[in-house]
Amino acid sequence: MSGLDRRWIYLAMMLAVALPILWNGVTGKTFPESPTPPSQACFDAIEALPEGSRVLVSFDYDPASEGELAPMATSFMRHLMHKRLKPVVIALWPLGPTKAEETIASVIKTDFPDRVNGKDFVNLGFQTGNEGVLKVIGTDFRKQFPVDRSGTPVDRLPIMEGITKAGDFPLVITISAGYPGGKEWVQYVSSSNPGLVLLAGVTGVQASQVYSYYPGQLRGMLAAIKGAAEYEALVSAAIDGDRVTAPKYTEARRRMAPQLFGHLLLIALIVLGNAMYFAQKRCKAVAP
């Protein structure tokens, strides 16, 4: 067993993830989700905003992390639209604006076609500079984002009326895969704007690091795909009630089944590896 070809482990992981996906695709069943406090805090923060509030949403991820973060982006956008809030979308990652366009197309243009670009939502695109961007928008938002993605000056957009700096937004949401992302938003925006509410949707890799900022500098957090599934469940309960939720809004919950079996496999591998290790150790101790 100690000489076990690693390809058998790869095959086991492949089956542990693939078979639940196929099972879910055939049955359509998902596990129930009960929210943890950081996910509930995200939901409550958006629920507390009055209709018409502008919300800054930052798409700080790329296709490499969309498996975890795209469901969060979709749920956030759906929740904002349902509450008639107005997302102002920016990005700190070069592929962020394209991910934002995909989310806008799948949520706003499909399910909320009455919302007008420039008035009810806007995509201001990406700017290079990482935390330099955050530093500038802290005092002069329009200097950093002078035009939207269509080239229309921000001064002419009704949605941006009265917005001069990041602190003018009552709520900021960052959907973050790494650097720059949740941590930088805490360091450069949240800490210097005590009244601003910051929410972060982060990958599993980042969740552990960013958790220390919760709940002081970070009001709420969606940690990895589980956080996305919890938030999805909250939004679905609030919007759909007992009706069946559209499949595009259950993506994170569908991924919890492969998650479960992947985790169980990993635990089994660790236990097996340790059992073999201690057995070999005992044999060596006993052998003359």
Partner 1 sequence: MSDAITDQAAPAQGRWWIGLFLVIAVLVAIRAGMGEGMGRVYVQTETTRYASTTNEQGRVAWSAVADGTAGAVTIERDLFRTAGQFRAAESAAPGQQAIRVSWDRTIGLWLAAFFTLAVFSFLAGDNPAYKLTESIVIGVSAGYWMVVAFWETLVPKLLANLAPDMVKAWCMPNLEGGAFNPIALIPLGLGIMLLSQLTPLGRHVGRWPLAFVIGTFAGLKMVSHVESDIIEQVRATMLPLVAFEDDGSFAAWASIRNVLIIVGVLCTLAYFVFSVEHKGAVGRAARVGVWFLMITFGSAFGFTVMGRIALLAARFEFLFIDWLWLIDPKGERAMAVVAAATQLVP
Partner 2 sequence: MSRSIALLICLVGGLTMLVSPFLPMATGWANDVTDWFNILAAMAFVLGGGSLLKVQLMRLSARGPGWGYSAVTLLAFAVTLWVGLGKVGVVADPSAPMVPWSGKPDDEGSAFWWIYLYVMTPITSTLFAVLAFYVASAAFRAFRAKNLEATLLLATAFVILLGRTFAGVVLTGWLPDWASGLRLENLAVTIMDVFNTAGNRAIIIGIALGVASTGIRLLLGLDRSYLGGDA
Return the one option of partner 2, partner 1, none that residue 237 interacts with (CB less than 5 to 8 A, by type).
none
Closest distance to partner 1 from the beta carbon of 286 (Å): 31
Return the one option of partner 2, partner 1, none that residue 101 interacts with (CB less than 5 to 8 A, by type).
partner 2
Could you say whether residue 15 binds partner 2 (CB under 8 A)? no
Interface with partner 2 in residues 120-179 (CB under 8 A) = 127-130, 132-133, 135-136, 139-140, 143-144, 149-152
Integer Cα distance of 234 and 168 in angstroms: 27
x-or-dash string of contact with partner 1, 45-84, rule CB under 8 A = -------------------xxxxx----------------
User: Which residue, 67 or 170, is less far from partner 1 as judged by CB?
Assistant: 67
Residues 4, 18, 268, 279: which binds partner 1 (CB under 8 A)? 18
Residues 4, 48, 116, 205: which binds partner 1 (CB under 8 A)? 205
Q: How far is CA 34 from the centre of its chain?
A: 18
Closest distance to partner 2 from the beta carbon of 53 (Å): 26
- Structure token digits, residue 222: 């969606």
User: Which residue, 28 or 273, is less far from partner 2 as judged by CB?
Assistant: 273
Q: What is the largest CA-CA distance in the chain?
A: 86
Closest distance to partner 1 from the beta carbon of 8 (Å): 11
x-or-dash string of contact with partner 1, 144-183, rule CB under 8 A = --xx--xxxx--x---------------------------
Q: Which stretch binds partner 2 (CB under 8 A): 19-27, 50-58, 223-231, 242-250?
A: 223-231
- Structure token digits, residue 209: 């690091």
Could you say whether residue 279 binds partner 2 (CB under 8 A)? no
Could you say whether residue 1 binds partner 1 (CB under 8 A)? no
| Element containing residue 82 per DSSP (H, E) | helix 66-82
- What angle is formed at CA 70 by the lines to CA 144 and CA 211, rounded to 5 degrees? 75
Q: Tell me the sheet residues that pair with 58.
A: 90, 174
Residue 131 C-beta-side C-alpha neighbours within 13 Å:
11
Q: Is the dihedral of CA 243, 248, 249, 253 positive or negative?
A: positive
Please, which residues have CB within 8 angstroms of residue 71's CB and are 6 or more apart in sequence? 225, 228, 229, 232, 251, 252, 255
Could you say whether residue 119 binds partner 2 (CB under 8 A)? no
Closest distance to partner 1 from the beta carbon of 287 (Å): 28
- Answer whether 226's CB lies under 8 Å from 262's CB: no
Residue 93 is given by DSSP the state S
Residue 189 is given by DSSP the state I
Q: Which stretch binds partner 1 (CB under 8 A): 49-57, 73-81, 248-256, 271-279?
A: 248-256
Quickly list H helices, 83-175. Answer: 96-103, 109-111, 131-137, 141-144
Q: Which of 122, 215, 210 is nearest to 174 (CA)?
A: 210
Return the one option of partner 2, partner 1, none that residue 274 interacts with (CB less than 5 to 8 A, by type).
partner 2
Q: Which stretch binds partner 2 (CB under 8 A): 47-55, 61-69, 167-175, 194-202?
A: 61-69
Distances (CA, A) of 98 to 11, 60, 103, 284: 34, 11, 9, 58
